[in-house]
Amino acid sequence: MTLICSGTMVLGRQLCRPGWVQTSGARIVDCGPGSPPRPADVDLPDAVVVPGFVDIHVHGGGGASYTNDTEIARAAQFHRRHGTTTTLASLLSASVDDLLRSVRSLAQVTRAGIVAGIHLEGPWLSAARCGAHDPTQLRDPSPTEIDALLDAGDGAIRMVTLAPERAGGFEAITRLADAGVVVAVGHTDASYQQTQHAVSLGTTVGTHLFNAMAPLHHREPGPALALLQDPRVTVELIADSVHVHPAVLRAAIDTAGPDRVALVTDATPAAGQGDGAFRLGNLDVDVTSGVARVRGTSTIAGSTATMDQLFATVAGLAADPDAGLVAAATMTSATPARALGLPDVGSLRAGRRADLVVLDRNLAVSAVMAGGEWLGDI
C-alpha cells in the first residue's frame, strides 16, 4: 500500500488542506481530509493533488495520431504525461472502409487499456459547419453503416457526434442511444427546436460548444442555447483561449455549472510540437503561435492544448482560488467521466482507480499516477 499526503487535495467537491489518499495496486482504498492516519509514504506539502484528467475529445498529440496504428500508444502516452489518465480516441470523418479499419484497431487498444474507447466525430456532420473535417467525407447516417461500425467496435465506441438535421439524423440518435452509445450534437446547423428534439431522443452531450455550430441569434437561438439550457446535457468546452473567448467561457460555466461542463482539448497530433506544418486527416494544417488552422483558411483545426493547460486556465477564472480548484477538477475529471458513464475514474475516493495528478504551486504537472503506477520519478 502507498499513502500519499498533499498540502492541498481535491476529494470529490471538497478542497482539503491537507488531504491524503491510500492506494493498493491499481485502486484507491481510502482517503480523507486532514493529516493521514500514519506517516505518509509520499509527502507533498507544497503540491496540489487532483484526480487524473478525463479527456473525451482528443485526436492525438506529441506528433502522433489515433488514426495511425503505430502511433496510438504514443499519442496516449503524450497526454498521460500531461495528466490525462483516461482518454477517448476521437476519429475524424472518413470513408466507411477507413473508419472501419480505425475502429477495429482502436477496439483492440481499448481492450488493452491504452484508451478508454472511441469517439466518432463524424462522418454524419453538417457540410455548412464541417470545420476541419473533409467535406467530401460527410454523409447522411444510415442504419447499415451505423451497425457495421458498432459491430467493428465491439463495444468500444462510446460516443458519436452527429448533426441531427441531416436526413436520418433523428433515427440515428435513437439507434445509437439504444445501443448504449453516448450521442453528441456537434458540427451542426440545427435549429433550436431541432436540437431540443435531438435531446428528447437521447442526446446527452454538446460537442465543443459554440464551435462548428450555428451562432446564437436573438431571433434564432440555435443549438448552443438549447444545449446550455437543458439539464440533461453535458457541454464540451475547449478552454484554450482560442476556441472560446474567456468571457463566453465564463458565461457558459456560470450557466451550466461545473457539473455539466466537460473541458476537452480537441488536441491534434500538433499538440506539443510547436509551430509548423501538419496533417489532420486529409487536410493540411499550419500551426502559428500555437493556433492550428486549415492551410490557406481561417478555420481552426483542433487545438494544440493539453488538459493541464485547460485546468490552470479555468482554475484562474474564479474569484475564489479554492472554488476555482474544485471547479477545475470537476470539469476535467468528474463531469467528463460521468458524461461517458465511466464509474471507475473521475474522483479520488475509495474503490476508484488510482489515477491522480500532482501539480506544483503554479498548477504545472510535476507527477502523474495512472492505475496505481507513477509515470516517472516522484
Binding-site members are 121, 132, 187, 208, 211-212, 219, 243, 300-302
What counts of helices (H) and strands (E) characterise the chain? Answer: 10, 21
Tell me if residue 266 is catalytic.
yes
21 pairs with which residues across the strands? 4, 31
CA distance 231 to 248: 19
- What residues contact residue 62 under an 8 Å CB cut-off, 6+ apart? 74, 75, 77, 78, 79, 269, 271, 272, 273
The amino acid occupying position 107 is A
CA distance 285 to 243: 16
Q: Could you tell me the CA-to-CA distances from 227 to 78, 188, 265 in Å, in that order?
A: 31, 12, 19
Q: Which SS3 state, helix, strand or coil, does residue 43 take?
A: strand
Q: Which of 189, 240, 266, 308 is catalytic?
A: 266
Cell of 287: 500551426
Q: Are 233 and 239 in contact (CB under 8 A)?
A: no
Strands 42-51 and 356-359: antiparallel
Our CA angle for 94, 100, 101, nearest 5°, is 95
Q: Which SS3 state, helix, strand or coil, does residue 376 take?
A: coil
- Peptide bond just before 223 cis, omega within 30 deg: no
CA distance 306 to 235: 18
Phi, psi of 313 (to 5 degrees): -60, -50
283 pairs with which residues across the strands? 280
Cell of 310: 485547460
Active site members: 266
